[in-house]
Every structure is written in structure tokens, then in C-alpha cells.
């Protein structure tokens, strides 16, 4: 578990400290797909954005975040992309490009 000094959570320093701790926690995971999940914290709500290849990894990301940001609400915007059926979408998702932009670039 990652611990960090908790400045006041509503301060910019507090918000950034939480976001950094979340990103470090996801990047330390053995699941490479979780390393591209973006985290933002605002008004006590942690928002997760990104793409993963399975619902299992989506749940793992939520569990990691809930341990680190205990007491914060979690807004999960992680999308599960099955790249075997959507080859262009999977490549765009790995680059962090929004899904529609990835399709247009094909």
C-alpha cells in the first residue's frame, strides 16, 4: 500500500499528491494495461479515465485506487475495449487517443 503525506485534500498540493499517489499505485501494478489509466481528483471525487482489455482489469484498477484514496468517491470512466474485435480501437486506446479519433485516423 502506498502512503503519502496528506495535505488538505481540497488544496492544489493535496489534490496533486493524491493524483500522484494513485498514478504510482497503478504503475506499480504487474498489469501493464493499468499504467495508462489517468487519475484526476476534484472536490473529493477521484475520476479514472482510460481503456483496459477486460472487466477484470477495470475492477483491479478500482481496487488499487480505493485502497490509496480511502474516503474519496470514485467515478469510473474506464472503458473495456476488446481489441480482437476492434483492431483500430485497441491501438488508439493504447496511445490514449479518444476512441472516435482513433477510428478517424485509420
**Which residue in 79, 97, 99 sits closest to 89, CA to CA?**
99
pLDDT for the residue numbered 71: 87
Domain boundaries, the chain: 12-104
Q: What is the pTM of this model?
A: 0.66
Q: Where are the beta strands (DSSP E) in 1-106?
A: 38-42, 45-52, 73-80
Exposure b/e, 2-12, CB count within 10 A at least 16 = b: eeeeeeebeee
CATH class of 12-104: mainly alpha
The predicted structure's pLDDT at residue 3: 46
- What whole-number distance in Å separates Cα of residue 44 and Cα of residue 29? 24
Regions in the chain scoring below 70 on pLDDT: 1-11, 83-106
Three-state DSSP state, 29: coil
What backbone phi and psi angles, to 5 degrees, belong to 12?
A: -60, -40
Amino acid at each position: 500500500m502506498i502512503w503519502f503525506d496528506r495535505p488538505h485534500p481540497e488544496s492544489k498540493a493535496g489534490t496533486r499528491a493524491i493524483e500522484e499517489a494513485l498514478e504510482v499505485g497503478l504503475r506499480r501494478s504487474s498489469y501493464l494495461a493499468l499504467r495508462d489509466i489517468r487519475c484526476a481528483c476534484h472536490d473529493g471525487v477521484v475520476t479514472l479515465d482510460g481503456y483496459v482489455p477486460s472487466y477484470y482489469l477495470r475492477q483491479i484498477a478500482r481496487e488499487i485506487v480505493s485502497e490509496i484514496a480511502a474516503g474519496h468517491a470514485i467515478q469510473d470512466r474506464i472503458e473495456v475495449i476488446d481489441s480482437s474485435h476492434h483492431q483500430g480501437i485497441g491501438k488508439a486506446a493504447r496511445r490514449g487517443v479518444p476512441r472516435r479519433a482513433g477510428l478517424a485516423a485509420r
